[in-house]
Amino acid sequence: MFSLKKIQLFRSLSNACRAGQSAGKALRQYAQREGQSSLLRMAEEIEGGGTFSEAMRRRPGEFPPWQAEAVAAGEGTGRLDEVLGLIAQSLEERRRFWLKVLPKCAYPVFILHFIPVAMNAQTLVNHGPATFFFHCLASLVPLYLAFAVIYLAARSLLGLPGLRRHLPFAGSFLRAALAHYLALLVRAGLSLSKTVELAGRAAGLSPEDRGLRGAAALADRGGSMAAILAAFALFDQEDIDYVQSAEEAGKLDSELARLHERARERNEAAVSTLLNLIPTLILLAVAAVVALKVIGFYKSAYSSRMGQGVLF
């Protein structure tokens, strides 16, 4: 997701192919410049008579299927330089999105770790640093365990066919990713049936997902992109109507790209809002805990004085 090297690879190959170099020669030069032996072996396979897409297919762990098939389409249409540029642009957009969002996590993380330090400051004075660090760690361990349980539960739930689309954030990210890959693969020149299959897999849909199966069946029968989007059961009717109009006007790829851009902007705004709310919620929770402790202290003192028959 964040690999700058992969972006540089596709951008460099795109520029080299646009300048008239063969894919094998361009890849060899990049591999020698960057000192990457695995890419050098790929270049040897290409220069030995293979194609770039075949070399990518033999390395599915390094190059996802959507990338290999997009490159194959580019090789078939003579637009390899353009397709390589599209892949680089796709990776850049994902990297830019997460690099914009992740720094906003720093403040909530800082707050979560500062609170145990502040609440145990008296322990440092009275009992020394060893006891202080132990108390801070004891306060943080339950928090880490809770996050681990939430993370594992989320991964398990997202793996269930059909569930991901109904979760608020997951469904929104899925919609944006699907529109993105559909736009990219349509622009790369793939057939509609292959575009739907690869875009669904790249977006994270399970092969057993009912929406993906329905959309793939429609694509195989030559259905329109508007009908295919409706079969996914992820997009609003307004978005489907826009895509239908664009399809009739021959501007399908640009409308799909705009559909992705709108979804991406909504996702970024939602994540930013959530990250801005988290510190406030944390502070409110801490204030409630402190208030309960203060009430408990005075209640205990009051009960003790009552037991002694002393009120003031």
Q: What is the pLDDT of residues 72-88, one digit of tens each?
A: 999 998 899 999 999 99
- Three-state DSSP class for residue 240: helix
pLDDT band at 165 (very low <50, low <70, confident <90, very high): low
Q: Please measure the distance between the N-terminal and C-terminal CA atoms of the chain and give it in whole angstroms.
A: 66
| Distance (Å, whole) CA 70 – CA 208 | 23
pLDDT band at 1 (very low <50, low <70, confident <90, very high): very low
Q: What is residue 167's predicted lDDT score, i.e. its pLDDT?
A: 67
| Distance (Å, whole) CA 214 – CA 195 | 14
Helix and strand tally (H, E) in the chain? 15, 0
| Distance (Å, whole) CA 241 – CA 239 | 5
Tokens of 229: 């989007």
For 279-310, write each residue's pLDDT tens digit.
787 778 777 877 877 787 677 766 766 666 55
Candidate from 37-41, 101-105, 196-200, 299-303 with smallest mean pLDDT: 299-303
For 144-155, write each residue's pLDDT tens digit.
888 888 878 767
Closest alpha carbon to 8 in 63, 62, 84: 84
Q: What angle do CA 170, 254, 182 make, to 5 degrees?
A: 45
- Of residues 206 and 84, more confidence is placed in 84
C-beta neighbour count of 177 within 10 angstroms: 21
Q: Is 165 left (phi over 0), alpha (psi -120 to 50) or beta?
A: alpha
| Distance (Å, whole) CA 174 – CA 310 | 66
Closest alpha carbon to 226 in 212, 237, 214, 210: 237
Q: What is the mean pLDDT of the chain?
A: 84
- Of residues 176 and 162, more confidence is placed in 176
For 242-258, write each residue's pLDDT tens digit.
889 988 888 888 888 88
Q: What is residue 110's predicted lDDT score, i.e. its pLDDT?
A: 81
pLDDT band at 122 (very low <50, low <70, confident <90, very high): confident
For 20-32, write each residue's pLDDT tens digit.
988 899 999 999 9
Closest alpha carbon to 267 in 201, 168, 154: 168
Q: What is residue 276's predicted lDDT score, i.e. its pLDDT?
A: 78
Q: Does the pTM exceed 0.85?
A: no
Residue 162 Cα to chain centre, angstroms: 18
Give the mean pLDDT of 199-223: 88
Tokens of 78: 């003579």
C-beta neighbour count of 171 within 10 angstroms: 14
| pLDDT exceeds 90 at position 71 | yes
Q: What is residue 162's predicted lDDT score, i.e. its pLDDT?
A: 62
User: Contact at 8 Å (CB) between 23 and 52?
Assistant: yes
Q: What is residue 209's predicted lDDT score, i.e. its pLDDT?
A: 82
User: Contact at 8 Å (CB) between 138 and 312?
Assistant: no
Contacts for 158 with CB less than 8 Å, ≥ 6 apart: 164, 167, 170, 204
| pLDDT exceeds 70 at position 190 | yes
Q: What is residue 306's predicted lDDT score, i.e. its pLDDT?
A: 65
Q: What is residue 102's predicted lDDT score, i.e. its pLDDT?
A: 77
| Distance (Å, whole) CA 269 – CA 250 | 31
